[in-house]
Amino acid sequence: MPPEKVVIDTDIGYLNDDSIALGVALGSPELEVLAVTVVAGNFSVQQGVTDGLAMLERFGRLDIPLHAGAAQPLVHRRSAYADASWGRWGTDDAAPPPLGRPARATSSALGAAEAVVALARQFPGELSIIALGPLTTVAEALALEPRLASLLKRIVIMGGSVAAFPHGAGNITPTAEFNVWVDPEAAGRVLSSGAAMELVPLNATRLVAYTAGFHADLQATGGLGAEILAERMGDFFTEASGDLQTANFSNYGLCDSTAVIAAVRPAALDWRVLQVQVDLSAGPAYGTSYCYLLSDPALAKVQNAEGVWDGLHQPLPLTGAVSPPATVRVAIAADGAAVRAECLTRLAALRA
C-alpha cells in the first residue's frame, strides 16, 4: 500500500513537541509528508517559520516546502489572561534566531491555506491533514475551497479534552485545551465541516509521557533522532535538574507525536464516536470542547453505579454559544507503552 499523503499543520518551535512529532512523521513509512504549514499557537507564526525551517534542515528534509499561515486566530484576540499564560499566538514578535543554526532555506511564497487547497485539488481523496496546533489554517482552507471536506481523505487533530473521561481537564483554562482555546471558532468550523476526522485529546496524550526508559532506548539507537533528543533533554534523567522547561517536556514531549501515531497505528488508542461542540461564548468556558453521546440520559444509570448520572449522555445537542454538533471519532485513552514504542521505531529510522 502506498504511503498516505499528508500535510503537517503545526505551531512548531525549535525542539518542542511539534518538532518531535514532525520527526515521528518523517520516520513513518506509512506517511509521505508533502508540506509543512505553520500556524500561530505556541509561538508567533514568524518564529514558527524560522524554527520549522531549522528543524526541517536538522531532519535533512528541506525538500519539503514550508508555508506560513495566519498570524492571528479567526476571532480570538490576546488578553491579559493570554499574556499571563503559555503561547505567543497573535503577536507580531520578530522571530529570534533559532537555538540551532538558521536554516539555509526560506518559506514558500504560497500561503498555508492556499497550499492545503492546492494539494487537495492535486490529490483528491488522497490527502490528509495532521493538525498539531490551532486549527486556523484548516478553517481558512475550508473557506477557500467549499469542496475541501470531500476532497480530503481525513483530518487528524491533536486537540480538545473530554471531561466525562479520565484526564479530561483543560491545560490552558480549567476546562479548555490550548489548541482549541487559541482559535475556538476555527475548531468549531473544522469539526462541523463534514470531513472525515479523528480527534486526539488530552485524555490520550496525557498517558504518553517522555520517560527515562524511552530516552535511554532512543539514545541506544545512535541515530539522528537520538542526537536531536539528546540536545533537547541534556542530562535531565541522569542529574538533578531545576530546568522547568525540560521537566515539563518529560510530561508533554510526545503529546503531538501521539496524534501522528493515532494516524498510523490507531489500535494503540481507545476510540469512541462522540458528538463534539466547541464553546464560543465570551466567558471563562470559551474554547471548551464538549464531547458527549446523544442518548437517553437514563443509560448513564445503567453504565454507572446505581443512581449515578453523568454528563456523557445527553438527550439533545447543546444549544447557545456553541459550534454546531459534529460526529467525531475521539481517542479517550492511549496505551502509553505502545505509543512510545511506535515513536521510538520511527525516530530511530531517521538518518542525517
Helix (H, G, I), strand (E, B) or coil at 79: coil
C-alpha cell at 128: 490528509
| Higher local confidence (pLDDT), 84 or 106 | 84
Q: Is residue 166 part of a domain?
A: yes
Q: Is residue 243 part of a domain?
A: no
Q: What is the mean pLDDT of residues 250-273?
A: 96
Say how many domains are in the chain.
1
Collect all residues with Cβ–Cβ distance below 8 Å to 243 and sequence separation of at least 6: 234, 236
Q: What is the mean pLDDT of residues 194-222?
A: 96
Task: Please give the pLDDT value at position 304.
Answer: 64
Task: Please give the pLDDT value at position 302.
Answer: 64
Question: How many C-beta atoms surround the C-beta of residue 327 within 10 A?
Answer: 14
CATH number of the domain at 81, please.
Answer: 3.90.245.10
Helix (H, G, I), strand (E, B) or coil at 276: strand
Phi, psi of 6 (to 5 degrees): -135, 150
C-alpha cell at 95: 522571530
Q: Is residue 62 part of a domain?
A: yes
Q: What is the mean pLDDT of residues 342-352?
A: 94
Residue 54 near residue 101, CB atoms below 8 Å = yes
Structural Rg of the chain based on CA atoms: 19
Q: Is residue 224 part of a domain?
A: no
Residue type, 166: P
Q: Is the pLDDT of residue 293 over 60?
A: yes
Q: Give, for 66, the enclosing helix (H) or strand (E).
A: strand 66-68
Residue 265 near residue 254, CB atoms below 8 Å = no
Distance CA 249, CA 236 (A): 10
Of the chain, the percentage scoring pLDDT greater than 90 comes to 76
Distance CA 340, CA 257 (A): 9
Q: Is residue 229 part of a domain?
A: no
Q: Is residue 258 part of a domain?
A: yes
Q: Is residue 213 part of a domain?
A: no
Q: pLDDT tens digits for 120-137?
A: 999 999 999 999 999 999
Q: Is residue 313 part of a domain?
A: yes
Range of the domain at 342: 4-207+252-348
Task: Please give the pLDDT value at position 308.
Answer: 57
